Amino acid sequence: MSTYGEIKRITTHTLQWMKLNGEKISMLTAYDFSMARILDDAGIDVILVGDSASNVMAGHETTLPITLDQMIYHAQSVVRACKRCLVIVDLPFGSYQGNSKEALNSAIRIMKEAGAHGIKLEGGQEVCESIKRIVGAGVPVMGHLGLTPQSIYKFGTYTVRAREEEEAEMLIQNAIALQEAGCFSVVLEKIPASLGADVASQLKIPVIGIGAGSGVDGQVLVMHDMLGVTKNFSPRFLRRYLNLYEDISNATKAYISDVKSKDFPNEKEQY
């Protein structure tokens, strides 16, 4: 339970307070109204409308195909559900890499059309000009380093990043650059735990990890993975809290059987 007094609405300042006071930040992805309502009511601190929607909602192999319009649609549904948590929305691939004006326009569309509370984008030094411009317009920005799925064709693989000293050092420099550019937080994905802890201790802003160990300031998971809706994705960092694939499959089979056998609907289930 939070020790931040009576939290009416989580803000970027609440997350900063949590880091300063050693309270870990909980973050999950969501993409629709019904699930976001459950997570918000349960007390999640941050909901990320991740571009992982491209995978888990739309069935694409990578996060690259999802569009800004599609992200806005998901974000609108999530924002309508949330009364307490902070809602951050990913800028999708191709909506910010061109130049800082394009990045600002995309961020503004997400804030205006979806009513989000901030945006997330991937990359280090190369996106700092865009971050400064977006933050300058009053929009909170979360960075994302380590395994950045929008660059999967550059990496060639989803394996752990920054195991080598040179890449680890570059990640630290990029994290500092993101903080200096004005990010309120940074996500670190799939890097050694020791590096995650190192970055979290060097930065003043909260560092949220996914496969970045326990030494960071908070954790994020893709909701479909932690609920066991996806079943063929089992990275080491994933803890499954339910096995919904099995549960939903069994419920569906029971329903089919009840319909076929004319057991459903019964006397009490009709008018």
Catalytic residues: 189
Which stretches of the chain are assigned E, i.e. beta strand?
Answer: 25-29, 46-49, 86-90, 118-120, 141-146, 185-189, 207-210, 218-221
Q: Exposed/middle/buried for 127, CB within 10 Å: 0-12, 13-18, 19+?
A: buried
Site string for ligand KIV, 211-250 (x = CB under 6 A): ---------x-x----------------------------
Does position 14 bind ligand KIV by CB under 6 A?
A: no
Does position 123 bind ligand KIV by CB under 6 A?
A: no
Backbone angles phi, psi at 86, to 5 degrees: -85, 130
In the block, residue with structure tokens 């629709």: 32
220 Cβ partners below 8 Å, 6+ apart?
27, 28, 29, 46, 48, 187, 208, 209, 210
Shortest distance, position 52 Cβ to ligand KIV, whole Å: 3
Q: Give how many residues touch ligand KIV by CB under 6 A.
A: 11
Which residue in the set 12, 29, 150, 185 belongs to the binding site for ligand KIV (CB under 6 A)? Answer: 29
Q: Are 192 and 147 in contact (CB under 8 A)?
A: no
Does position 52 bind ligand KIV by CB under 6 A?
A: yes
Judged by CB under 6 A, the stretch of 48-56, 236-244, 246-254, 261-269 that binds ligand KIV is 48-56
Q: Are 91 and 123 in contact (CB under 8 A)?
A: no
Q: Exposed/middle/buried for 214, CB within 10 Å: 0-12, 13-18, 19+?
A: exposed
Q: What is the DSSP string of 66-106?
A: --HHHHHHHHHHHHHH-SSSEEEEEPPTTSSSS-HHHHHHH
Does position 50 bind ligand KIV by CB under 6 A?
A: yes
Does position 179 bind ligand KIV by CB under 6 A?
A: no
For residue 113, give the DSSP letter.
I
Judged by CB under 6 A, the stretch of 17-25, 31-39, 50-58, 74-82 that binds ligand KIV is 50-58
Does position 92 bind ligand KIV by CB under 6 A?
A: no
Shortest distance, position 43 Cβ to ligand KIV, whole Å: 20
Does position 187 bind ligand KIV by CB under 6 A?
A: yes
Shortest distance, position 143 Cβ to ligand KIV, whole Å: 11
Does position 85 bind ligand KIV by CB under 6 A?
A: no
Toward ligand KIV, which CB reaches closer, 29 or 179?
A: 29
For binding to ligand KIV (CB under 6 A), which residues are involved? 29, 48, 50-52, 90, 187, 189, 210, 220, 222
